[in-house]
Structure 1
Amino acid sequence: MPVSRSQRRVEALLGEAGVRIGGGRDWDPQVHDQRLYARLLAQGSLGLGESYMDGWWDVRSLDAFLTRLLQARLDRRVRGLAEIGDALLARLSNRQTRARSGEVGRRHYDLGNDLYAAMLGRRLVYSCGYWRRAADLDEAQEAKLDLVCRKLELRPGMRVLDIGCGWGEALKYAAERYGVSGVGVTISREQADFARRLCEGLPVEIRLQDYRDLDEPFDAAFSIGMFEHVGVRNYRTYFEVVRRCLPEQGLFLLHTIGRNLSANRTDPWIARYIFPNSMLPSAAQVATASEGLFVVEDWHNFGIDYDRTLQAWCDNVEAAWGRLDARYDERFRRMWRFYLAGSMASFRTRRAQLWQLVMSPGGVPGGYVAPR
């Protein structure tokens, strides 16, 4: 069978990444459908992810394969029409309006608590663990929660705000270990229902509420893994909301994935299948949006810990597929594998970072000493 021009082009590009189609190494893909080559050149990253979901190709180590593509910067050389269209839409519209803000809750966080319970470990904490002295995922997540509390200098009697509270684990930890009361807001109905049950008997209120509606006093605030859904057009509003809820001496901790270069959109495959209307902030965008509202007291990057966290999630969910609901069919499993493997590759190649920022409205008198 003659080799097409698109196949030669794809093989040449993969060769630059040290990848050979049909090779014997863990990162060498095996192609099952010859239509793959034209699809990749026409659709870029969207075509790569969708063709994997469709079973057009396989590879023994998906994360190793995707890592090599990112290291060779092939994603920046092959851009499909979907990416061009998505970039244009992002420039012309606000993808994170109030009307659209609930979409990620319905399509991602409401997938099913059974999936997340199987993947995330003992605590339902869907964000990077802190592995500095941790031996396993559960220890890393508890260490992260404790790090947040220590950075905020939480004390008994304080009232704390959690923006994007997820399944309520962070507020539960803070209430039990540090004696605080708190309010958590989320746009996911499944998460809100679970968090209310989890925090029952504690001085914790869980609300199904948009963060933009918050306007009440708290002693401290934190946001873990929610800022990725805010969008560049809303960053300033986000920080204004936090500022109006804090006293002059209050502290705010922002825990977010970040990117090295400013952008106004996300990868089209991620936007379509995993996190609709999401985007990762750059350091410049965070600094610009918070300018004049907060003093940045500490900026902590432990993004390399996310690779290890994702590997643990992947191991957990792979071990659990057989006992999970049949609605997580083979196409869903391949989608989920691609999502986790691509995330590993992004952090492994330092394309993505994990930041914890501690901010204060007017600056901590005498300076702030950050725990590690």
Structure 2
Amino acid sequence: MPHHRFQRRITDLLAEADVLIGGDRPWDLQVHDARFHARVLGQGSLGLGESYMEGWWDAVSLDGLLFRLLAARMDERVHRAGEVFDALRARLTNLQSPRRSGEVARRHYDLGNDLYRAMLGRRLVYSCGYWRGAKDLDTAQEAKLDLVCRKLRLQPGMRVLDIGCGWGEALKFAAERYGVGGVGITISREQAEYATALCAGLPIEIRLQDYREVDESFDAAFSLGMFEHVGVKNYAGYFDVVRRCLPAEGLLLLHTIGGIRSVNRTDPWIARYIFPNSMLPSALQITQAIEGRFILEDWHNFGTDYDRTLQAWRENVESAWDGLDARYDERFRRMWRFYLAVSMATFRSRRSQLWQVVLSPRGVPGGYVAPR
């Protein structure tokens, strides 16, 4: 029987990651549908995620299971149908062109502010917190925003550009604590409306605008969790845009998730259900793109803080499901659980990093001392 062969193959693979089918440890996998084995062998991560969404399997500790699979490199061992086509498409196509770049806003960031308000805590900051000395999510996010301002050496009266401003929290923080003004751009209509209301009365302008359209002067610039949507074909153009907006003494802080290998596309499940047309930059891809454009002043990796941030988000959203709109049905909840858990696993296994990179157009005279 073919499905017995598939089952044996999956059982053997999972055993290498110290995962048992039907075991009693929190990270062991409980299969509810016998078609699971063939689907995962044939579709890899896409089949694993979709079959979880459809209730074909469970694990008490979903992040614990996925961490073990990633730490054992199981994703590299399973055949992934369709990936050859995906890779070819990514190489031949600019998946983050101005026309395509709006898709992630429609499908992810415009899901509903109610979901994000429930998940993200007191401030709607959808990027990694800074947990050095922090005991809870709100403190960690405030510490991250303050770290960004200190790294940029913000002073009262400066004009700052926030590329991918989200719900406006970072600019609001910078304006209130450091006395700056500025412009925030986003391609999400929901975020732009919320950010405009949030920043009312402050010297801040929120625009529904693609980063490629910005051409004016600022004293400093930052981008928190937006570079993951730029795409390697556009990195040089991205840095050209920022370079033309900054004076010689201006600083750019780039806060981005990073991958340990250079790729030109994202995981198939993430691409289909969470972040269409996204991809994680590698260190090589970033440094190649800044060559001749910026001086690298500082590179700070605090990727393991993202595991803690995601755990806090999960705790928030799990306690809020029952009070949220009915459109977040059981399939959506399982999709969201898988998204948060697989994200935890990638940072815990050190397969993904969180980088804050500080760049200057010509180098800081006398050198740059990076706050931590």
Q: Please classify the TM superposition score into its range, dividing by the shorter chain length.
A: over 0.9
Question: Partner of 1:263: helix, strand, or coil?
Answer: coil
> What is residue 111 of structure 1 aligned with on the other side?
111
Alignment of 1:1-372 (within 5 A): 4-372=4-372
Change beyond 3 A, Cα 1:65–1:243: same
Shift of 1:90: 0.7
One-letter code of the match for 1:149? Answer: C
Question: Partner of 1:24: helix, strand, or coil?
Answer: coil
Distance 1:3 1:238 in 2: 49
Distance 1:84 1:33 in 2: 28
| Equivalent pair of 1:128/1:305 in contact (CA under 8 Å) | yes
Question: Partner of 1:253: helix, strand, or coil?
Answer: strand
One-letter code of the match for 2:152? Answer: L
One-letter code of the match for 2:193? Answer: D
| Equivalent pair of 2:258/2:282 in contact (CA under 8 Å) | yes
Distance 1:23 1:288 in 2: 47
- How many residues are treated as equivalent by the alignment? 372
Distance 1:34 1:162 in 2: 49
Deviations 1:216-269 (A, max 9, x none): 000000000000000000000000000000000000000000011100010000
Shift of 1:84: 2.3
One-letter code of the match for 2:239? Answer: F
Distance 2:286 2:190 in 1: 29
Change beyond 3 A, Cα 1:157–1:3: closer
Shift of 1:83: 2.2
Gaps of 5+ in 1: none
Please tell me the root mean square deviation across aligned C-alpha atoms, in Å: 0.9
One-letter code of the match for 2:183? Answer: V
Shift of 1:3: 6.3
Distance 1:180 1:54 in 2: 48
| Equivalent pair of 1:82/1:268 in contact (CA under 8 Å) | no
Deviations 1:11-42 (A, max 9, x none): 01001000110111101111111011110011
Shift of 1:133: 1.0
Shift of 1:2: 9.4
Change beyond 3 A, Cα 1:2–1:217: closer
Shift of 1:79: 3.1
Distance 2:86 2:317 in 1: 31
| Equivalent pair of 1:83/1:267 in contact (CA under 8 Å) | no
Distance 1:62 1:87 in 2: 28
Q: TM-score, normalised by structure 2?
A: 0.99
| Equivalent pair of 1:314/1:340 in contact (CA under 8 Å) | yes
One-letter code of the match for 2:185? Answer: V
Instruction: Indicate the larger mover: 322-331 or 3-12.
Output: 3-12
Shift of 1:81: 1.4
Question: Partner of 1:23: helix, strand, or coil?
Answer: coil
| Equivalent pair of 1:45/1:79 in contact (CA under 8 Å) | no
| Equivalent pair of 1:249/1:361 in contact (CA under 8 Å) | yes
| Equivalent pair of 1:258/1:353 in contact (CA under 8 Å) | yes
Question: Partner of 1:102: helix, strand, or coil?
Answer: helix
Distance 2:125 2:231 in 1: 22
Question: Partner of 2:6: helix, strand, or coil?
Answer: helix
Gaps of 5+ in 2: none
Distance 1:240 1:57 in 2: 47
Shift of 1:87: 1.1
| Equivalent pair of 1:109/1:188 in contact (CA under 8 Å) | yes
| Equivalent pair of 2:167/2:194 in contact (CA under 8 Å) | yes
One-letter code of the match for 1:345? Answer: A
| Equivalent pair of 1:46/1:82 in contact (CA under 8 Å) | no
Q: TM-score, normalised by structure 1?
A: 0.99
One-letter code of the match for 1:338? Answer: F
| Equivalent pair of 2:3/2:38 in contact (CA under 8 Å) | no
Deviations 1:153-185 (A, max 9, x none): 000010000000000000000000000001000
Question: Partner of 1:7: helix, strand, or coil?
Answer: helix
Question: Partner of 1:4: helix, strand, or coil?
Answer: helix
